[in-house]
Amino acid sequence: MATTTWGWLILACPLAGTVIIGTGFRLWRGRMPGWIGTLAIGLAFVASVGAFFSLRNHPVEHRQLTSSLWNYAVTGGIDAKLQILVDPLSVFMCLVVSGVSTLIHLYSVAYMGSDRGYARFFGYLNYFVFSMLLLVLAGNFLILIVGWAFVGAASYMLISFWYRRTTATRAGIKAFVINVVGDVGLVLGTYFIFRHSHTLDFLATFKQAPTLGASHHGALVAGMLLLLVGAFAKSAQVPLHTWLPDAMEGPTPVSALIHAATMVTAGVYLIARMHPLFEHAQAAATVGAIGGCATLLIAATIALVVTDLKRVIAYSTMSQIGYMIMGVSSGAYAAGLFHLMTHAFFKALLFMAAGSVIAAMANEQSLDRMGGFRRAMPFTFACFIIGGLALSGVPPFSGWLSKDEILAFDATRGGAWWIFTVLGYLGALMTAVYTFRMIFRAFLGDPVPEALELEHGHIAHVEPPRNPATGEEEDTDVGFPGPEHHIAEREWPMKGAMGALALLATVGGLIQIPKVDNAISRFLEPAFGDSRFTHLEPSTAGAWLGLVVGAAFGLIGIAIAYRIWVQNPGFATRLRERVPALHRFLVNKWYFDEAIDLLFLRPATAFGRFAQSTFERLFVDGTLVGGTTGIVRVGSAAVRSLQAGLVRYYAAVLLLGLTVVGLYFLIQSS
Amino acid sequence: MILAAAHLKGPHIDWRSLSPLLALAGGGTLTLLVGLFGSRFVRAVLVPLLTIVAFGAFVGLSIWRFHHSASIVAGALRMDDLAFVLDLLLGTAGIATVLLAWRSRAVEEAGHGELHALLLFSVMGMAVLVSAQNTITLFVGFELLSIPLYVLCASELRTEQSLESGLKYLIVGSVGSATLVYGLALIYGATGSTDFGPIGQAISSGSIATDPLLLTGVALVLVGLAFKASVAPFHQWTPDVYEGAPTPITAFMAVATKAAALGIFLRFFDVALIGTQDTWGPALAALATVTIIVGNVGALGQSSLKRMLAYSSVAQAGYMLGGVVVGTQLGVKATVFYLAVYLAMNLAAFAVVVARERETPWRDDIRSVAGLGASRPLLAWPLTIAMLSLAGIPATAGFIGKIYLIDALVDGNYAWLGIVIVVGSMISLAYYLRVIAAMWMREAPEATPPVPAVRPAMAGAETAAETTRYPELAIVALVFGAASVVLGIVPGPLFHLVGHAGKAFGGLF
């Protein structure tokens, strides 16, 4: 089978899943929709594997294959086609996305088991995976934009999945609005590029990259900066990150899928995909790297103080995406994508484990109320530890190898790029601290009542159910979470998915060990072969030194966390009291929400009010709408009584118009 | 005298190229005669069928002559691909109108034979108009399309509004015709020719491009044609006439008259007057701007669907004028493309309005479609699609049409007019979405008519009448609704078709 046929199959499976689940939702009973959805994504993964092997049969220089299904509009300077590009990069992304998504679907089959919107959930979930795969397989800017917008819409639907919860709908709207800002950036950026390249096709555009960089450098940089706006909004990078923590209102599998493994990596993919253009617009690439670095530090500091279990992981996601954005922006493409892969494994694992804990706590997410789950949930605890070690970069877990490869590359690039390496290690230290703060607070210490109850075999329930964020009373009908809670210890699909991810998080990094196997770099070579940074490779000694330093920072961080939260339980409180201003600053998330509110929302609202009170009420309502309908009303009254008068009025306007037009032409004639 | 006349040599006539027009003329005569038969079957079934056959022949012959461009009847008519594509649209509109008018009150009151014959002759006038290559033919076509329309508007003989609409159209229309013919005379005076080709040569070769006589003529022609295309400020008749006329006739006027008027706009301004494009371009652009604003703002407060669609058709005329303004092949293509999608979306909308007018006591008020989504999804979907397409939502034909027009405008250095189109579309969302909201989000109103016309004893009969379904209306709505989506997703074939139409004007860029 042709390689591109596999590519179309990758797209067809989740689409078929969406349609089958969506149209037959009345027919499906029990967990049927979940299994259909899992099967559809599983088949997409199989197709990705097929594409992978098929691609390897091609000679290295012919591994970028395009296929278009039909021409949407191919006329006068526009070449809009339904076109996919199957190359090592897109196949790599497909493998990660569909592979991790399959496991998340499997987990959701059990986790969402009692929810009244079960079929709807899997319909959305399949649609989301379809959109994401469309995004990564896109062969031209048009399909990229379509996939990009679909992903935004799908994430809105999934975050607001419990649509009767006001907090969830508000979070969904926030995510959607910020994503639309990114969409606008992406579309405008595309326009800037298209204006000079005259083609939407990726490969044709990339061929022109050197000439574009030389002749239209300003436009290219502007276009790339606008693309970065898109990438930053989708990947939750500062200052367009505020939607991600709020998005934790969605069901936990959604957090795992969207906010760990797939959607937020779209920005990383975009930069990697556009690397030929970015390399000729170094200013934009530098902005990207600085943004990524700033995000990784800011997010890590916030994660140190946040008390909501899922939000800690969310900020950690932002921080890790920051590493990837920094990596691909500075030219470490393979390293950035390698980290993307390992991060997908361990972060999905952490979210799933967190979901298990939250279920045991009857939807309570606050770390302040958790503790001592070690004995009650040994499997979840083990998964959390594995995910945490991988995230902290402790050998031999996967995050250790991938994160340090990015930092080693920046060090090799030299010059000011050294700063990124240093700040990256600082971020790594904080990562270890906040990760293990979370683990120690949730699992060690004295068991809370919920943990004790679970040790006796009962899962905690709150009657009536409440919104954990606001305490509002809820019911368990559709639009709210279901009545039952499911934990990994009791549900084999959850256990299976987490076990597989735990295995991958442990050994997944070993496929790319510096100077040993480099499997990912070699596979991605055809996609990034044209890069001017291919020759930049850290020396063996440097690479291993980096790994040792990274491991040391990870262990030191864990030790610090152990001292603060296990050995000296009161120390954290004392620390907080000693620097209250700093703590307030971090707890308020660096006041980004407030700054956006002050800078954009308030002026816009004020302007809107002003415009409504003056322009709209007086001019539009009064003069335009009121005026015309008034004339019409007066006119139709006149029709009945005085018909000749009205026609005379028409004729008068006709003559007036004629006079104006005639005068214009007469003035032109002289 | 008789001998002298015998020596006059008539022009050579290429009957094959003329055949589409002959089909209409023959069909018109035949339906008029057949309509005289007393049999109910002949009048109510055979006549409409014959009309459809005539329109079918017209379309078929146009397709047959495709790619066979010819100037016929001593250069009076130019049968080229632009004319054939527009003929295709006119024939489609004619067939749809027959279906919409079948079983309507207008056709019963005015007589089947008469109404259908008038319809055929009106379309013939339009076909002559879009092929006109001579100011005389232009005027003949113009009148041949107008006079049957005046009568058609008044064809609901017992409805005061309909008669009023016909009369008003006649009076204001005569002013328009007079203006047009006056302008044509002045142009003849300035250039010494009635043929478009020689007029164009006279303008481009001599120094008369700024001649006051010529330009006054251009101004008057512009106003005359603007009147027919309902371009503001010469549009005031449109809402009144559209509202008063029988709805099938309104639908016909909205799509076919517009296609014919814009067709002759393209042909006259882009062929004969292209040499003065610098002069009329800005004037036409200004008129287009006024039209877009007036049409969209005027539609905002309307509760009558027909009035709303009338104002919307004014606004859409403004959009399409953009393709004329630029005077390029791309502009021609964009205008013709938009005419085609405009036909599809308006016919879908009008078919639903006709259906609801017959089914509910609310006539064409917006209340007639309230709750339609739940009760009649097969009617609600086409109307929804038509409204979205008219507003220019992506994945509909209207979106592609607008993009194409804006592309032509940007290409022709009238980017600001493209922005006006976008702003106009934004305003238009307000009234298009209102219809959609009424259909899907509101409950159907209590079935009490605004005027207590139904006596209690009639209630049973009324229910029986309401259960009469009009499958032909649903079919028209569904076909054109589907076309509005399909052309938005697969616009390729239509691009291809209008590409030929654009090439008809070899002289343009």
DSSP state letters, A543-560: HHHHHHHHHHHHHHHHHH
Q: CA–CA separation, A108 vs A33, rounded Å?
A: 11
Lookup result for tokens 């649609």: A127
Q: Smallest CA–CA separation between A397 and chain B, in Å?
A: 47
Identify which of A320-334, A595-609, B180-194, B232-246 has the greatest average pLDDT: B180-194
Residue A391: what are its φ and ψ, rounded to 5°?
Answer: -65, -40
**Same domain, residue pair A642 and A495:** no
Asked if residue B309 lies in contact with residue B283, where contact means CB atoms within 8 angstroms, the answer is: no
Residues 6+ apart with CB under 8 A from B73: B11, B13, B18
* Burial degree of A417 (CB within 10 A; 0-12, 13-18, 19+): middle
Which pLDDT tens digit goes with each residue over A206-241? 888 888 878 888 888 888 899 888 889 888 888 888
Q: Is residue A589 over pLDDT 80?
A: no
In B65-111, which residue ranges form alpha helices assigned H by DSSP?
81-101, 105-110
Report yes or no: A449 at the B interface, CB cutoff 8 Å: no
**Kind plus residue range of the DSSP H or E element containing A74:** strand A65-75
A191 and B CB contact within 8 Å: no
Is residue A41 within 8 Å of residue A105, measured between CB atoms? yes
Which pair of tokens denotes residue B313? 């058709």
| Residues A150, A269 within the same domain | yes
Q: Is the CB of residue A75 less than 8 Å away from at least one CB of chain B?
A: yes
The whole-number pLDDT of residue A641 equals: 44
Q: How confident is the model at residue B395, as a pLDDT?
A: 85
* Residue A639 binned pLDDT confidence (cut-offs 50, 70, 90): very low
**Residues A84 and A4: beta-carbon distance below 8 Å:** yes
Residues of B whose CB is below 8 A from A647: 168, 171-172
* B190-213 pLDDT per residue, tens: 998 999 988 988 888 877 878 888
The answer to which of A162-176, B130-144, B475-489 has the lowest mean pLDDT is A162-176
Query: Angle at the Cα of A130 (from A403 to A205), degrees rounded to 5?
Result: 70
Q: Is A575 on the interface with B (CB under 8 A)?
A: no
**pLDDT at residue number B477:** 93
What is the largest distance, in Å, between two alpha-carbon atoms of chain B? Answer: 78
Q: Tell me, yes or no, whether A35 and A118 share the same domain.
A: yes
Mutate to test the interface with B, among A70, A150, A650 (most CBs of B within 10 A): A650
Which range (A76-80, A301-305, A428-432, B428-432) has the least confidence?
A76-80
Give the pLDDT score at B57.
95
Q: How confident is the model at residue A174 (pLDDT cuts 50, 70, 90)?
A: confident
- Chain B residues in contact with A649 by the CB 8 A cut-off are 236
Residue B142 has pLDDT above 70, yes or no: yes
> Which residues does residue A68 pair with via DSSP β-bridges, in sequence order?
A83
Measured CA to CA, the distance from residue B253 to residue B256 in angstroms comes to 6
DSSP states along B17-70: HHHHHHHHHHHHHHHHHHTTS--HHIIIIIHHHHHHHHHHHHHHHHHHTTT--E
pLDDT score for A575: 77
The pLDDT-based confidence of A643 (bands split at 50, 70, 90) is very low
A651 chain-B contacts, CB cut-off 8 A: 171-172, 175
**Do A625 and B280 make contact, defined as CB atoms within 8 angstroms?**
no
Kindly tell me the burial class for residue A616, based on how many C-beta atoms sit within 10 Å of its own C-beta (0-12, 13-18, 19 or more).
Answer: middle
Q: Closest-CA residue in chain A for B411?
A: A76
How many structural domains does chain A have?
A: 2
B339 neighbors B89 (Cβ within 8 angstroms) = yes
Q: Where are the alpha helices (DSSP H) in A57-165?
A: 88-111, 118-137, 141-159
More confident residue, A65 or B318: B318
Using H for helix, E for strand and C for coil, what is the string for B370-383?
A: CCHHHHCHHHHHHH
What is the pLDDT, as a whole number, of residue B452? Answer: 44
At B48 the pLDDT is 92
Q: What is the domain range of residue A440?
A: 3-587
Torsion of CA A577, A578, A580, A581, to 10 degrees: 180
Q: Is the pLDDT confidence value at A624 over 80?
A: no
Measured between alpha carbons, how far is B501 from B83 in angstroms, rounded to an integer?
8
Inspect the interface and report whether the beta carbons of B283 and A639 lie closer than 8 Å: no
In this model, does residue B3 exceed pLDDT 80?
no
Q: pLDDT tier at A492 (50, 70, 90 boundaries)?
A: confident
Phi, psi angles (nearest 5°) of residue A84: -115, 155
* Amino acid letter, A534: T
Residue B130 has pLDDT above 90, yes or no: yes
pLDDT at B458: 42
In 3D, which of A409, A441, A239 has the Cα closest to residue A327? A409
8 A C-beta contact, residue B224 and residue B185: no
Q: Answer whether B240 sits within 8 Å of A639, measured CB to CB.
A: yes
- Tell me the chain B residues in contact with residue A629 when contact means C-beta distances shorter than 8 Å: 301-302
Compute the distance between CA of residue A400 and CA of residue A392 in angstroms, rounded to an integer. 7
Residues of A in contact with B277 (CB under 8 A): none
| B273 CB burial (10 A radius; 0-12, 13-18, 19+) | buried
> So what's the pLDDT on residue B206?
74
Chain A residues 496-515 with a CB less than 8 Å from chain B: none
The reply to whether A70 touches chain B by the CB within 8 Å rule is yes
In the predicted model, what is the mean pLDDT of residues B251-272?
Answer: 92
Confidence of residue B455 (pLDDT cuts 50, 70, 90): very low
pLDDT digits (tens, 9 = 90+) for B496-505: 899 888 888 8
| Cα of B489 to nearest chain A Cα, Å | 7
How close A501 comes to chain B (CA, Å)? Answer: 40
Per-residue pLDDT at A566: 79
Task: Kindly tell me the burial class for residue A557, based on how many C-beta atoms sit within 10 Å of its own C-beta (0-12, 13-18, 19 or more).
Answer: buried
Under a CB-based contact definition with an 8 Å cutoff, are residues B372 and B379 in contact? yes
- Average pLDDT of the residues in A586-611: 75
- Please report which confidence band the pLDDT of residue B461 belongs to, taking 50, 70 and 90 as the band edges: very low
B34-90: pLDDT as tens digits: 988 878 888 888 999 999 999 999 999 999 988 888 888 888 899 999 999 999 999
Q: What is the ipTM of this complex?
A: 0.84
Percentage of residues of chain B with pLDDT beyond 90: 50
Least Cα distance to A385 among A432, A428, A339, A344 occurs for: A432
Q: Do residue B175 and residue A653 have CB atoms under 8 angstroms apart?
A: no
Q: Which residue of B has its CA nearest to A635?
A: B240
**Residue numbers in B near A194 (CB within 8 A):** none
Element at B279 (helix H, strand E): helix B277-300
The domain boundary residue, chosen from A552, A587, A622: A587
Q: Decide if B223 and A668 are in contact by the 8 Å CB cutoff.
A: no
Q: How far apart are CA A47 and CA A12, in angstroms?
A: 10
d(C-alpha A636, C-alpha B165), whole Å: 12
Over residues A483-492, the mean pLDDT reads 77
Contacts of B334 in chain A (CB under 8 A): none
pLDDT at B283 over 60: yes
Question: What does the DSSP assignment read for A422-449?
Answer: HHHHHHHHHHHHHHHHHHHHHHSSSPPH
If residue A79 lies in a helix (H) or strand (E), which one and from where to where? strand A78-86
Distance CA B325, CA B440 (A): 39
Q: Are strands B77-79 and A65-75 parallel, antiparallel or unpaired?
A: unpaired
Mind telling me how many Å the CA of A668 is from chain B's nearest CA? Answer: 7
Picking from A536, A552, A587, the residue at the C-terminal end of a domain is A587
pLDDT category, A573, cuts 50, 70, 90?
confident
Domain stops at, among A563, A587, A611: A587
The three-state secondary structure class of B79 is strand
In this complex, do B298 and A666 lie within 8 Å of one another by their Cβ atoms?
no
Comparing A127-136, A179-188, A344-353, B1-10, the range with the smallest average pLDDT is B1-10
The verdict on A180 and A318 lying in the same domain is yes
pLDDT at A209: 83
Percent of chain A with pLDDT over 70: 94
Give me the mean pLDDT over the B319-338 stretch: 92
The tokens describing A231, both together, are 């990438």
Give the pLDDT of residue A620: 63
For the cut 80, the answer to whether the pLDDT of residue A334 exceeds it is yes
Q: What is the pLDDT of residue B6?
A: 60
Q: Scanning every residue of chain A, which has its alpha carbon at the shortest distance from the alpha carbon of B208?
A: A669
Q: Average pLDDT, whole number, for chain A?
A: 82
| Average pLDDT value for chain B | 88
Q: Within 10 Å of residue A475's Cβ, how many Cβ atoms? A: 12
How distant is the Cα of B144 from the closest Cα of chain A, in angstroms?
22
pLDDT of residue B2: 56
Using CA coordinates, name the residue in chain B closest to A621.
Answer: B301
Q: Which sign, positive or negative, has the C-alpha torsion B102, B106, B109, B114?
A: negative
What count of Cα atoms within 13 Å lies in the side-chain half-sphere of residue B52? 14
Asked if omega into B394 is within 30° of 0 (cis), the reply is no
pLDDT for the residue A631:
57
State the Cα–Cα distance between residues A388 and A371, nearest whole angstrom: 17
Band (A25; pLDDT cuts 50, 70, 90)? confident
pLDDT-derived band of residue A617, with 50, 70 and 90 as boundaries?
low
**Which residue, among B69, B73, B119, has the nearest Cα to B94 in the 3D structure?**
B119
Task: Please report the pLDDT score of residue B367 as a whole number.
Answer: 87
**Is the Cβ pair B400, A73 closer than 8 Å?**
yes
